[in-house]
Amino acid sequence: MALSPDGSLLAYVAEDDEGSALFLRTLASFETRKLPGTEGADVPFFSPDGEWVGFFAAGRLKKVSVARGSVLTIARATEGLGASWGSDGTIIFCPSPNAGLFLVSEEGGTPEQLTTPNVGEDGFAHVWPQHLPGGRAGGQAVLFNIWPENGVAVLDLETRDWNIVATSPKGASYVSTGHLVFFDDQLGTGLFAAPFDSELRAITGPTVQVLSDVQVYRLESARPYITVSPDGTAVYIAQASEVSTLSWMDRSGALTPILKQEGSIANPRLSPNGEQVVFGDEQGNIKLLHIDRGTVAVIQSRSANSAKWHPDGDRLAVDSFHAGSWGMFELVISARREPALLVDRPYSQVPTSWSSDGKFLAFQEIHPMTGAD
């Protein structure tokens, strides 16, 4: 979701009978308007004048006119992780997790690469860019987040140099009161704020909690679900107390619960012998459930929850951030040792299925420009 610069209009992603798309509503009413041509949209952001909404969809960075509803394509973007529209007519965006930040004209053209993640030292991804106030038109500096754990950085658009300004905050964004707002699991749950000098490019005061119930998506740089307009209006999604249930279902549709837990249960996969289940949660953990014993253990963290069982029932292929790299690893259930890297390739790989004899593994590779190959 995103608020317009004047705080009067909210753009958000929602789903109806035809699928997901962008919707608009003014904060002065409860009426909503669906924007045609925005099917599958994600990560909306407004132009500085509030007349356009940028978004990612179908492997592209696009924009839609608020008044006319016309949709235009700006650039390729496999899996958009944030964008910021400068007043100089350029857009800075992250087209995919391992691509870094790019700059492109609002009218389209060939994107120019601004940053390149150095995997281990500089994080796997540079995400959620945001123009900072001050300097020349469009903002002289850009705030962005380094994922998965290296904090917040500022990019100088004139020199193209960037520096880490804080290591603890996650999913940080700048608000017009002169603060960074962010999530910090070292401090607890909720949304925190700290005074930030955009000229000095530094945190200048103590951190305080400002909201206790903001929902956080921890996989993507712990991004809090909140949008704040320059006039100080904030819209956020409240954290829900969710209990998920994993169940057996028979052919008649009858359910037999086998596990209940707080938070989500994602992508459950039954072991070949039917005695164990692997599944993921919103924190990026892969968990193993022994069905008969009812025990649950975390067997891998920092994952996208795509674990696939080997036919022998003792091994899993997982995609994970491990040893300074995001890649595809083999995890042996019965052995207490580090996961073994399966392929040494650039970008990231996601396992999809083993062959029945266990000799081959099909996988997708996420490329910044061509998508999931």
From first to last of its 373 residues, the chain has per-residue pLDDT tens of 999 999 999 999 999 988 899 999 999 999 999 999 999 999 999 999 999 999 999 999 999 999 999 999 999 998 899 999 999 999 999 998 778 999 999 999 999 999 988 766 556 789 999 999 875 444 489 999 998 777 899 999 999 999 999 988 889 999 999 999 998 878 888 899 999 998 888 999 999 999 988 888 766 567 889 999 988 899 999 887 678 999 999 999 999 999 998 878 889 999 999 999 999 887 788 999 999 999 999 998 877 778 999 999 999 999 887 766 678 999 999 987 888 999 888 878 899 999 999 999 999 988 877 778 8
Sign of the CA dihedral 45, 100, 76, 372?
negative
Secondary structure of 195-218 in the HEC alphabet?
Answer: EEECCCCEECCCCEEEECCECEEC
CA neighbor of 19 nearest in space, from 3, 1, 2, 34: 34
110: exposed, middle or buried (C-beta count within 10 Å: 0-12, 13-18, 19+)? Answer: exposed
Cβ–Cβ < 8 Å for 148, 96: no
**87 is written with which tokens?**
């007043």
- Rounded Cα distance, 87 and 50, in Å: 11
Cβ–Cβ < 8 Å for 317, 308: yes
Cβ–Cβ < 8 Å for 168, 179: no
pTM for this structure?
Answer: 0.82
Chain centroid offset of residue 105 CA: 24
Cβ–Cβ < 8 Å for 369, 113: no
**Which residue carries 């990019």 as its tokens?**
155
**340 is written with which tokens?**
């073994």
**Domains detected in the chain:** 2-236 (2.120.10.30), 243-372 (2.120.10.30)
**201 is written with which tokens?**
């490019």
The DSSP line for 135-175 is SSTT-SEEEEEEETTTEEEEEETTT--EEEEESS-EEEEEE
Cβ–Cβ < 8 Å for 359, 353: no
SS3 306: coil
Cβ–Cβ < 8 Å for 38, 264: no
- Rounded Cα distance, 149 and 146, in Å: 7
Secondary structure of 335-357 in the HEC alphabet?
Answer: CCCCCEECCCCCCEEEEEEECCC
Give me the sheet containing 90-93, strands edge to edge: 83-85, 90-93, 102-105, 112-113
Alpha helices in the chain (DSSP H): none
**Which residue carries 């040893």 as its tokens?**
323
- Rounded Cα distance, 306 and 302, in Å: 11
Amino acid at 4: S
